Every structure is written in C-alpha cells, then in structure tokens.
C-alpha cells in the first residue's frame, strides 16, 4: 500500500488542532483527520510546542457576571476550533479526491 504524503502545513495544522483541543485524545484527532495515531504522534514530536491549551475556570464564568464583550470573546474562542477543524478537513480533502462534485447527487445503491 503506498504511503500518503502530507504537506508540512497540513502536519502543523494537525498538531495545532491537537494542542488547542483540551480534553480530546490523540486517537480522536487522528481518526477525525483520517490519519494514523502514530503518525500524528510523530508530528507532535517534530512540530509540537509541548504545550496544550488548558481549560480554566475563567473560560466558563457564571452567567450573571458575563458582560456582552466577555460573552463575544468567549463565543469567538469556541468558534475557533470548528473553524480550524473545517480548514484542516478542507486541506485533507485534496488528498482524498472523489468522483463526486459538490452539486452532484449521491449515487443510489
């Protein structure tokens, strides 16, 4: 089976996704990206900063003490991860070309 070649940008994005995903396992991120867990682990050794984002009690303040500006900042942080995942998956889609285009209907089986 031929090995897949990933760009350095994809590798660094995968590492950043893992490092910025507190509470998510290495296996989960690797599965989501369609790569082997050991491959992601090797990328972490090579490109990782060794620091993983921690969930702090400041990330979820009580609703009564939240101002609109704080709430906007919190929602922007929460939206950053899905955006990052989306961007990585779009880049990964280039490595897994399909016969189906965006507007084409799914084949009937």
The per-residue pLDDT of the chain, averaged, comes to 77
Mean pLDDT on 17-35: 87
42 domain residue, yes or no: yes
101 domain residue, yes or no: no
Which residue has 């660094």 as its token pair? 12
Alpha-carbon distance values, 58 to 21, 22, 65, 66 (Å):
16, 14, 11, 11
76 domain residue, yes or no: yes
16 domain residue, yes or no: yes
Task: Identify whether the C-beta of residue 47 lies closer than 8 Å to the C-beta of residue 39.
Answer: no
Count of the separate structural domains present in the chain: 1
The pLDDT value recorded for residue 54 is: 56
26 domain residue, yes or no: yes
Angle at 49 between CA 47 and CA 55, to 5 degrees: 130
The CATH number that applies at residue 47 is: 1.10.10
**Domain hosting residue 12, numbered range:** 8-93
User: DSSP characters for 57-109?
Assistant: GGGS--GGG--HHHHHHHHHHHHHHHHHHHHHHHHHHTTS--S--TTSPPPP-
The pLDDT value recorded for residue 56 is: 47
49 domain residue, yes or no: yes
The pLDDT value recorded for residue 65 is: 58
């Amino acid at each position: 089976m031929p090995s897949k070649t990933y760009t350095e940008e994809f590798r660094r994005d995968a590492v950043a996704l893992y490092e910025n995903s507190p509470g998510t396992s290495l296996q989960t991120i690797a599965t989501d990206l369609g790569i082997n867990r050991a491959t992601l682990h090797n990328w972490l050794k090579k490109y990782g900063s060794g620091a993983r984002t921690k969930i702090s009690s400041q990330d979820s303040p009580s609703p009564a003490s939240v101002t609109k500006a704080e709430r906007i900042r919190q929602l922007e942080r929460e939206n950053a991860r899905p955006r990052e995942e989306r961007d990585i998956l779009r880049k990964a889609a280039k490595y897994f070309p399909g016969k189906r285009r965006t507007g084409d209907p799914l084949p009937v089986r």
